[in-house]
Amino acid sequence: MTIERLLPGSALQAYPPPSKWDDWREYDVKAWPRRVERRYMLVPTVCFNCEAACGLLAYVDRATMRVRKFEGNPLHPASRGRNCAKGPATINQIQDPERILYPLKRAGKRGEGRWQRVGWDQVLDEIGARIRTAFREGRHDEVLYHVGRPGHERYMDRVLRAWGIDGHNSHTNVCSSAARLGYALWSGYDRPSPDHARARFILLLSAHLESGHYFNPHAQRIIDGKLAGATLAVMDPRLSNTASMADHWLPTYPGSEAAVLLAMARVILDEGLADLAYVERWTNWREFMAHRRPGDEPTFGAFLAALKDHYREFTPEFAEAESGVDRHRIVEVARLIGTARGAFASHVWRGSASGNLGGWQVARALQLLTVLTGSVGTPGGTSPHAWNKYKPVFWEEPPAHARWNELLFPPEWPLSHYEMSFLLPHFLKEGRGKLDVYFTRVYNPVWTNPDGMTWVEALRDEAMVGLHAALTPTWSETAVFADYVLPMGHAGERHDIQSQETQSGRWVSFRQPVVRAARERLGETFRYTYETNPGEVWEEDEFWVELSWRIDPDGALGIRRWFESPYRAGEKLTVHDYYRWIFENAVPGLPEAAAREGLEPLDYMRRYGAFLIEKDVHGLESQPVAVPPGAERDQETGRVRVEGKPIGVEVGGEVVTGFPTPSGRLEIYSRTLEEWGWPEDAMPGYIRSHVHRSNLDATRGEMLLLPTFRLPTLIHTRSGNAKYLAEISHRNPLWMHTSDARRLRLVTGDLVRVTTEIGYSVNRVWVTESIAPGVVACSHHLGRWRLHEGEGSRWSTVRVRLETRDGAWMLRQVEGIGPFASSDPDSSRIFWSDGGVHQNLTFPVHPDPVSGMHCWHQKVVVTQAQADDRYGDVFVDTNRSMEVYREWARRARPGPGPGGLRRPLWLDRPLRPVDSAFFKP
Amino acid sequence: MNYAFLIDNRRCIGCHACSVACKAEHEVPLGVARTWVKYVDKGVFPETRRTFQVTRCNHCEDAPCVEICPTTALFRRRDGIVDFDSRRCIGCKACMQGCPYDALYIDPQTETAAKCNFCAHKVEVGLEPPCVTVCPTQAIVAGDLDDATSRIVHLTGRLPVQVRKPEKGTRPKVFYVEGDAAALVPLAAPPASDYMWAQGPPPSALTAAMPGLDVAGAPRRTYATREQHRNSWGWKVSAYLWTKSIAAGAFLVPAVGVARAPGSEPVPLPALLIALLALAATGVLLIWDLRQPARFLWTLTRPQWRSWLTRGSYVIAAYGLALAAQVALALARRPASSTLIALTALLAAGTATYTAFLFGQAKGRDLWQSALLGPHLLVQALVAGAALFARPWLVVLLPVGGLLVAGEVWGRHATEDARLAARLIQDDPRFTTGVLVIGHLLPLSILWGISSFQGMAGALALFGLFLWEHLYVQAPQQVPLA
């Protein structure tokens, strides 16, 4: 049997042409070199591993209607058919013999490991009734949804608004909120969107060639930019794969990054490399002069002098002393940035921003370089993320709620960029509130967050958490302490809309259950996605609609109506209705593109999976704005308002869109910080980290632990069920520089005890030249565990024994990774025995007093292991961790702020309430 | 048409997407790999750098795996792809000795050899291999070297490229842009037991034989998959060499005696029977070592004539027939003709020495690329024969054998790999105590009359011979190939 070649001769194409996706024929790889034909339907979806939302193309075997493999979706504007290792590994997650196939309900005590299979109806009835009671009794704040990774754009926002609760909690304050705050203070937009492909200089304080928002799409464009002539510099104390690709590796001592960046800014200012016209036009320098230099002439020249004066202390020598990076290298890089002529692309996301006290200033210092070089929103520069991100709207928006849940936004941290999510168990233990129904959605705080044992203490206590439902595709250390474990689908098993700021342009992509989509294309109909998924694995979209109907069966609570079809009055909303409406009405250009193919918009997205709304988006801050009569103009800032609402900003005599900041400009000076108790940090600056050298006691042998780095092959606790990924990466030794190892008399492989403020872990040391002296590093990706058989994927978890007495917790490995019998013969071929060490348990919480971000870096003492220490041991004292929490909480400067506000009105927050709720009653 | 890969190290970010895409496409079992990414860290902080190297089958123009494969299970397609057919594979693992790049493995599911086949099933319908399409940075280029318009021709024409081990003469077709010797040369950074996020192989004699590896800043392998070629030929192959020596020598030594004294008795029946028995044992060991023992006859019935495994099988078979014929004549009390004896002696010598050509086809084993090997195998057969039937000959043969052993171990070696393999033998106490003292000096001293246990001399010589075969087969298999 011969299949016709796509092109004559020897030419090869990357992907089958979409016109052949319905019935693609290729040879059976197992039968080869016998030519046996296989027929597939190629159905696009979106990866569910990291947040980048890369396109996948499922090969659904037409004979079995099962997914054979996942490749990339060539029509996806960001990933362009390419993926990282986690994309093709999706097939492992779907075929994992260890996955949870049916809803489970706790049979014994919490965490005891006894479960019974239940039906979805029972789950929905029981949880729905409980929430209904809470709502009827006015206990809205006791219902909380806690999301690990917000997937579906705005879907949950809509659900929670429909429920009328302030009940959205996220993971962001253990992830990125420090950098977000830094960016937001500048421009009102809390993420950068660097245009790497056209940059002349790329500066990364991140490891985007191997991880992060957004690894694969950004790596493509960083390398494209580099090959096109851009210079790449990377700040990282550890030789990441990214740093190794750099033209300039700047191994900055952790926490010193802002000092180096400000020294670069000083070079750019002093050497006349700054784009002063841009700075004059777009920064709020007049506001600075008015408030900081009221006696001086309010001219730009005076401002410039003041600015230079402000950063005078940031000499290259100072930067070298702080960072350990050669001052000549700093000056050289600064000059290259200064001559990038508006094509300076940069990014900080986690890294130093999330590691250090005051990390939010790192993002501000970095953005200062973007502003000084006039690279904001330019081709090759760095744009605000919202310019490059799509957000859907709905046929009917539930109104904003009017509540303020202080378990999420407590008064101590009025500027916290996201919810103080990682302090939830501490708040519960303090009696600040309790939870009646708690949903964790693909969220594993016991493992991922700092101080996991305090989470365990709260989750085990039914007085603190009445009901805990874990929505997850796979077992997690947190699901173990749930009352219901509710299996939800992987990439090719669920619906979502995804859009990210991966490049200069705006796109939308469609995650869909591929087998359902394929079978529907062949004429079958299904009511629920779990009918086509393995077991009874469901999808959340349908779960929340069903649950909402059970909370409010008769519509009396006013909830049900938001979950009715926009097409059939009074009938239950289906996933088809939901996405059909969005694609028909809320994606510019999509209906026309679909019509050109003779398709309905929903069918277009089902078939192609992604749509490019616009490309090359630049200059959105300079769009002219029509000024209605009665508009008011602020003298200091040029902000133009109508009835108090900003509509634009006057720049150079013209009213344009500007930026969503109070001044409408790029805020080099933050009046907000000044007014909310942080005048010393009102400018981009340098805050000495809690792990600054001066805060380490060398006589005690204290070192800095960098515990946050990621591997290209894994993604937090989502990917432990992918055997091909576990095969490549399965341990996380402690990286230590040769000189430190010599001092401590350690060689690679030696067992060490890593002691933190609240406990210790026992790991092996990996001696290397690839890390700065004085710093040790350990990837947070490994060290997964399970308490009982059946409660964790054996590809990646070790079995442990967990013992506790009076807040002292001891976790010890009792069984490593090893071969096991299953339906997958590969499980008997596992050759590694190491599963890594769970270090996060030993970290106390470190809430940054401004951003609220957990400051990840740790002060540790590394010693040779003691006689009865065993690899993987973890000891934690939660009494001590509560003390550390209180010490850090005392650093905060509580609200309310000006006018009795809980939080500045202009700073956004998730699930934003009505404005009146911002005011403390 | 001549397909080849280009790996652009200016673009490769070491993300392992190619490795996983390949695994998903072919459902490659855990523990083996068709393509993987090697990491090497080098330099002293802060001038440290990491090299990534996509590592896979080179689809050689002159593929040693194809040449050594006895059954055409491995073959070079007309489009330049080196492909394989698991249905024809007998699992002899010769290809794993032949390949100098560690590209082949035995699939634990099928128990047959496998490797990267350029996704020929995709290429034939006009698609790139999934490792190419998945690559985030387009660091892997697959294309036709004969098509002047192809990207690979454009790039290889414009940029300097490197290949792995060009000195092997295999004409590899995976070209590296900015290939780094620290990664291209396996011994520049040998396997280590601790990788940055994975377990490596347990510490071995290899590390002891390579001083200076732990010097800070020296190239250091920081990620690798498990070596696949290692120990693919185990004790059964060592034992096969030994039984084969006995089988050959048991006939040759008496036959040489016949030649010396015309008209004397033909090779006596016990010698014939011992030769035949040892030859049968050789066959059993050979078949036992196959991963597909039921397919053993395919070396004869589906021959690939360039393979010395095929040729050797025929020589062994012919030798067996010749011996059987003489046994039959001896049982019938009829003399064997001198022609038959000469022919049998020739086949015995062939049986003893063909392995030199087979090992010569094992391009992955530098130590075996030795001009001494043929003569040495013949001397080994004579030692074995003499140990059984003409112990006094050992007085001459053992020193000759010893000199040959010394030549293999302490002689000049053309390559670092061969030197390392020889060093591994030198460092092994089984060599000094077992091969030299017990296998040579002790029997010689017995024969020289220093000891009175004359009968022991032959047994000790045979013991020494076995140990030598074992070390000689094993040591080069410890040398990393990738």
Please list the pLDDT of chain B residue by residue as tens digits (482 residues).
999 999 999 999 999 999 999 999 999 999 999 999 999 999 999 999 999 999 999 999 999 999 999 999 999 999 999 999 999 999 999 999 999 999 999 999 999 999 999 999 999 999 999 999 999 999 999 999 999 999 999 999 999 999 999 999 999 999 999 999 999 999 999 999 999 999 999 988 888 888 778 788 999 999 999 999 999 999 999 999 999 999 999 999 999 887 666 666 678 999 999 999 999 999 999 999 999 999 999 999 999 999 999 999 999 999 999 999 999 999 998 888 989 999 999 999 999 999 999 999 999 999 999 999 999 999 999 999 999 999 999 999 999 999 999 999 999 999 999 999 999 999 999 999 999 999 999 999 999 887 667 779 999 999 999 999 999 999 999 999 99
Look up residue A437 and give its DSSP letter. Answer: E
Q: Within 13 Å and on the Cβ side, how many CA atoms surround A493?
A: 27
Question: Which residues between 410 and 429 in chain B have a beta carbon less than 8 angstroms from any beta carbon of chain A?
Answer: none
Asked whether residue B412 falls in the same domain as residue B329, the answer is: yes
Q: Spell out which residues of chain B touch residue A80, defining contact as CB-CB under 8 Å.
A: none
- Residue-level pLDDT at B210: 86
Coil, strand or helix at A484? strand
Q: Which residues of B307-316 are buried (b: 16+ CB within 10 A; e: fewer)?
A: bbbbbbbbbb
Asked whether residue B184 falls in the same domain as residue B294, the answer is: no
Which CATH number fits the domain that encloses residue B434? 1.20.1630.10
Angstrom CA distances, A68 to A5, A29, A448, A848, B136, stand at 22, 11, 32, 47, 22
Q: pTM score, two decimals?
A: 0.97
CA neighbor of A163 nearest in space, from A732, A561, A714: A561
A636 close to A290: Cβ distance less than 8 angstroms = yes
Residue B305 lies in a domain: yes
A421 close to A171: Cβ distance less than 8 angstroms = yes
The residue to which tokens 């995804």 are assigned: A498
Q: Give the C-alpha separation, A874 to A364, whole Å.
A: 37
Q: Does A764 touch chain B (CB under 8 A)?
A: yes
- Name the token pair of B78: 């007309």
Q: What is the pLDDT of residues A56-102, one digit of tens each?
A: 999 999 999 999 999 999 999 999 999 999 999 999 999 999 999 99
Q: Give the C-alpha separation, B272 to B340, whole Å.
A: 13
Q: Give the C-alpha separation, A104 to A108, whole Å.
A: 12
Cβ count within 10 A of residue A879: 12
Q: Spell out which residues of chain A touch residue B136, defining contact as CB-CB under 8 Å.
A: 82-84, 215-216, 219-220, 223
Q: Does B122 touch chain A (CB under 8 A)?
A: yes
Angstrom CA distances, A767 to A116, A608, A750, A776, B195, stand at 47, 48, 10, 10, 11
Q: How far is B157 from chain A (nearest CA, A)?
A: 18
User: Closest chain A residue to B38 measured between Cα atoms?
Assistant: A728
Q: How far is A185 from chain B (nearest CA, A)?
A: 33
- Residue-level pLDDT at B261: 67
Q: Does A39 touch chain B (CB under 8 A)?
A: no
Q: Parallel, antiparallel, or unpaired for β A67-72 and A55-61?
A: antiparallel
B15 close to B157: Cβ distance less than 8 angstroms = no
- CB atoms A733 and B194 under 8 Å: yes
- CB atoms B30 and A831 under 8 Å: yes
Contacting residues for B312 by C-beta, under 8 A, at least 6 apart: B351, B354, B355, B357, B358
- CB atoms B197 and A711 under 8 Å: yes
A196 close to A378: Cβ distance less than 8 angstroms = no
Neighbouring-strand partners of residue B221: B40
Q: Give the C-alpha separation, A825 to A821, whole Å.
A: 7
User: Closest chain A residue to B39 measured between Cα atoms?
Assistant: A241
Residue B230 lies in a domain: no
Contacting residues for A921 by C-beta, under 8 A, at least 6 apart: none
- Mind spelling out the 3-state secondary structure of A519-544? HHHCCCCCCCHHHCCCCCCECHHHHH
- CB atoms A83 and B134 under 8 Å: yes
CA neighbor of A631 nearest in space, from A621, A620, A646, A618: A646
Cα dihedral A644, A645, A648, A654 sign? negative
Task: State whether ipTM is beyond 0.90.
Answer: yes
Q: Spell out which residues of chain B touch residue A231, defining contact as CB-CB under 8 Å.
A: none
Residue type, A346: S
Q: Spell out which residues of chain A touch residue B142, defining contact as CB-CB under 8 Å.
A: 12
Q: Does A10 touch chain B (CB under 8 A)?
A: yes
- CB atoms A14 and B132 under 8 Å: yes
Q: Give the C-alpha separation, A530 to A488, whole Å.
A: 9
Residue ranges of chain A whose pLDDT lies below 70: none
Q: What is the CA radius of gyration of chain B?
A: 25
Q: Spell out which residues of chain B touch residue A85, defining contact as CB-CB under 8 Å.
A: 15-17, 19-21
- CB atoms A712 and B117 under 8 Å: no
Q: Give the C-alpha separation, A571 to A580, whole Å.
A: 15
Q: Which residues of A462-477 are buried (b: 16+ CB within 10 A; e: fewer)?
A: eebbbbbbbbbbbbbb
Asked whether residue B254 falls in the same domain as residue B156, the answer is: no
Residue type, A314: F
Residue type, B356: A
B210 close to B420: Cβ distance less than 8 angstroms = yes
Q: Does B11 touch chain A (CB under 8 A)?
A: yes
- Residue-level pLDDT at A149: 79
- A693-889 maps to which CATH number? 2.40.40.20
- Residue-level pLDDT at B467: 97
Q: Which homologous superfamily does the CATH classification assign to the domain defined by A177-389+660-681?
A: Dimethylsulfoxide Reductase, domain 2 (3.40.228.10)
Asked whether residue B289 falls in the same domain as residue B149, the answer is: no
CA neighbor of A319 nearest in space, from A255, A246, A242, A240: A255
Q: Domain end: B203, B223, B243, which one?
A: B223
- CB atoms B128 and A831 under 8 Å: no
CA angle, residues B158, B159, B164, in degrees to nearest 5? 135
- CB atoms B45 and A3 under 8 Å: no
User: Closest chain A residue to B84 measured between Cα atoms?
Assistant: A33
Q: Does B150 touch chain A (CB under 8 A)?
A: yes
Q: Where are the domains of chain A?
A: 177-389+660-681, 620-656, 693-889
**DSSP-H helix ranges across B332-441:** 338-361, 373-389, 394-410, 416-427, 429
- CB atoms B121 and A209 under 8 Å: no
Q: Domain end: B188, B223, B258, which one?
A: B223
Report the residue count for chain A: 921
Mutation pick from A32, A252, A746, A763 vs chain B, by most beta carbons of B within 10 Å, is A32
Helix axes A257-270, A300-310, angle to 10 degrees: 140
Q: Give the C-alpha separation, A841 to A707, whole Å.
A: 12
Q: Give the C-alpha separation, A731 to A870, whole Å.
A: 15
User: Which of B126, B199, B222 is the closest to A13 by Cβ?
Assistant: B126
User: Closest chain A residue to B82 measured between Cα atoms?
Assistant: A33
How many structural domains is chain B composed of?
Answer: 2
Asked whether residue B178 falls in the same domain as residue B278, the answer is: no
Q: Give the C-alpha separation, B423 to B366, whole Å.
A: 13
Angstrom CA distances, A888 to A420, A422, A690, A883, stand at 13, 13, 10, 9
A288 — phi, psi (to 5°)? Answer: -60, -50
CA angle, residues A67, A72, A77, in degrees to nearest 5? 135
Residue B36 lies in a domain: yes
Q: Spell out which residues of chain A touch residue B128, defining contact as CB-CB under 8 Å.
A: 12-14
A352 close to A254: Cβ distance less than 8 angstroms = yes
Q: Does A670 touch chain B (CB under 8 A)?
A: no
Residue B460 lies in a domain: yes
pLDDT above 90: percentage of residues in chain A: 98
Coil, strand or helix at B53? strand
- CB atoms A712 and B15 under 8 Å: yes
Mutation pick from B27, B127, B207 vs chain A, by most beta carbons of A within 10 Å, is B127
Coil, strand or helix at A318? helix
Asked whether residue B196 falls in the same domain as residue B242, the answer is: no
Q: Does B215 touch chain A (CB under 8 A)?
A: no
B220 — phi, psi (to 5°)? Answer: -140, 125
Asked whether residue B242 falls in the same domain as residue B143, the answer is: no
Residue B109 lies in a domain: yes
- Residue-level pLDDT at B260: 67
- CB atoms B45 and A241 under 8 Å: no
B11 close to B137: Cβ distance less than 8 angstroms = yes
Asked whether residue B287 falls in the same domain as residue B329, the answer is: yes
Question: Which residues between 163 and 192 in chain B have a beta carbon less than 8 angstroms from any beta carbon of chain A?
Answer: none
Q: How far is B128 from chain A (nearest CA, A)?
A: 5
A267 close to A334: Cβ distance less than 8 angstroms = yes
- CB atoms B194 and A325 under 8 Å: no
CA neighbor of B63 nearest in space, from B364, B476, B386: B364
Q: Spell out which residues of chain B touch residue A730, defining contact as CB-CB under 8 Å.
A: 197-199
Q: Give the C-alpha separation, B402 to B398, whole Å.
A: 6
- CB atoms A83 and B21 under 8 Å: yes
User: Which of B25, B126, B135 is the closest to A7 by Cβ?
Assistant: B126
Asked whether residue B106 falls in the same domain as residue B242, the answer is: no
Q: Spell out which residues of chain A touch residue B139, defining contact as CB-CB under 8 Å.
A: 223
Which CATH number fits the domain that encloses residue B45? 3.30.70.20
The domain containing residue B68 runs over which residues? 3-223
Q: Give the C-alpha separation, A270 to A317, whole Å.
A: 15
Asked whether residue B212 falls in the same domain as residue B239, the answer is: no
Q: Does B23 touch chain A (CB under 8 A)?
A: yes
Q: Give the C-alpha separation, A902 to B115, whole Å.
A: 64
Q: What is the CA radius of gyration of chain A?
A: 27
User: Closest chain A residue to B50 measured between Cα atoms?
Assistant: A244
Residue B229 lies in a domain: no
Contacting residues for B458 by C-beta, under 8 A, at least 6 apart: B386, B387, B388, B391, B394, B443
Q: Spell out which residues of chain A touch residue B108, defining contact as CB-CB under 8 Å.
A: 829
Q: How far is A493 from chain B (nearest CA, A)?
A: 18
- Residue-level pLDDT at A69: 98
Asked whether residue B46 falls in the same domain as residue B158, the answer is: yes
Helix axes B235-260, B373-389, angle to 10 degrees: 70
- Name the token pair of A652: 């150079």
